A and B are shown apart, each in its own frame.
Chain A
Amino acid sequence: MYYFPQLSSGATGQFPITRQRSARTVINQSCQGYQVKLADPAAAVTAWHLSFEEIDDQELAALEALFQSVEGRLTPFTFLDPVDNLLAWSEQQEQAVWQADPLLTLAGGVPDPMGGTAAYQVGNPTAATLMLQQAIDAPASLDYCLSLYACSDQSTQVWLVRGSATAAQAIGPQWTRLTSAGQLPDSAGSISFGIALDPGATVNVFGIQAEAQTTASIYKQTSETGGVYPNARFRDDTLTITTVGPSRYSCELDIVNVEYL
């Protein structure tokens, strides 16, 4: 399994980052301007333009190693979008991508800290610890940051689950953004993110976000796809690197994710 490497800072990209999504719609238009449309979701393309400045020998070696391993645009690799939430359905925890332990209760439509009603009330009526988590197909060994907003009428704690790492964080009646970040000594090809609740605990949760970086950025809502692209490729067969000094390199590259390939 090939994957796009992180920089030594833990980031996947540097600013500026450009991302473009393309869809395909077939349109039949009459003389009067009326239209009949047909969508072609399988033809969707997502593309990124990444610019790297001041990267060092080690970072460059990782980039070059990937480029040589995948032989330019020939072979796909996993790309973790640096400007997106890796988790799908971030505001719909009842979707199938979320694995809720049996007996864990979920109730939507709860007021959220952004002024909407997209938060969930998660309750654990049992005598055991229960979890709500989502697994993504990405290397567990990378730097990740899990973040979420949580509050509870009772003074309690919520466990943030980031792969094999769990951390308890205290919450109260005010919305608080909790984070859990770091790198795990785990070579698995997938990693799970979520929460765990102590017996009897009930918490309100909003904006669960996982990012392939060391700190949390602004919460980004997602729907059916998160920021994990297992079918990404280099757009070009060439990788040009500029050496600006000893152990100082820069390069620009384009990555595309095409589902139908």
Chain B
Amino acid sequence: MFPTLKTGAAMQYPAKRTLQFNTDTIRFLDGTEQRFRENPSVLHRWTIQLDLLDESELATLDQFFVSDQGRFGSFSFTDPWDGTVYPNCSLAADTFGFQLKAEMRGKTTLTVCQNRT
């Protein structure tokens, strides 16, 4: 389960959600095209930009990254847009960094991607 902030929210504004299909295109000599669906369905991806976090919230995210071992682990993520629970998601990167500008002034960015099941 992806951790939430103390407010109960998982994301802050500006929040970004990406839908991704994977279409293969074969173009013939006469210019016509034939298109194939490479993947059976759309995959979702969320870019989570977080600001003004306190050290406790950063530690929770950090521990989540450590326990998941970056991209390796999987977890369920609830889409804040519509409440849909995606049971098989992973972090999109093998790095997690944050900057602490002052007390309770932490800033970080995470990307969550839905895995094919």
Contact = CB atoms under 8 A, between A and B. Distances in A.
B94 A19 contact: no
Contact of A25 (B22, B67, B94, B115): B94
5 contacts: A18-B98, A33-B39, A35-B116, A220-B59, A221-B60
B99 A17 contact: yes
Interface centre among B22, B65, B72 (most CB of A within 10 A): B72
B100 A83 contact: yes
Nearest to A223: B63
B59 A84 contact: yes
Interface residues of A, number: 33
B66 A32 contact: no
Given A217-B55, A219-B56, A221-B56, A20 B104 contact: no
B96 interface: yes
Contacts of B95: 20-23
A174 interface: no
Interface of B: 22, 38-40, 43, 54-56, 58-60, 62-63, 65-67, 69-72, 94-105, 115-116
B98 A19 contact: yes
A222 B59 contact: yes
Interface centre among B54, B55, B103 (most CB of A within 10 A): B55
A21 B66 contact: yes
A218 B104 CA distance: 9
B63 A222 contact: yes
A155 interface: no
Given A15-B101, A220-B55, A23 B72 contact: yes
A218 B94 contact: no
Given A32-B38, A32-B40, A21 B97 contact: yes
Given A20-B95, A83-B55, A217-B55, A25 B65 contact: no
B7 to A, nearest CB: 13
Nearest to B59: A220
A33 B22 contact: yes
Given A15-B100, A15-B102, 4 more contacts: A37-B71, A38-B72, A39-B70, A217-B55
A24 interface: yes
Given A18-B97, A85-B59, A223-B63, A41 B69 contact: yes
B96 A223 contact: no
A225 interface: yes
B65 A21 contact: yes
A223 B66 contact: yes
Interface centre among B67, B70, B96 (most CB of A within 10 A): B70
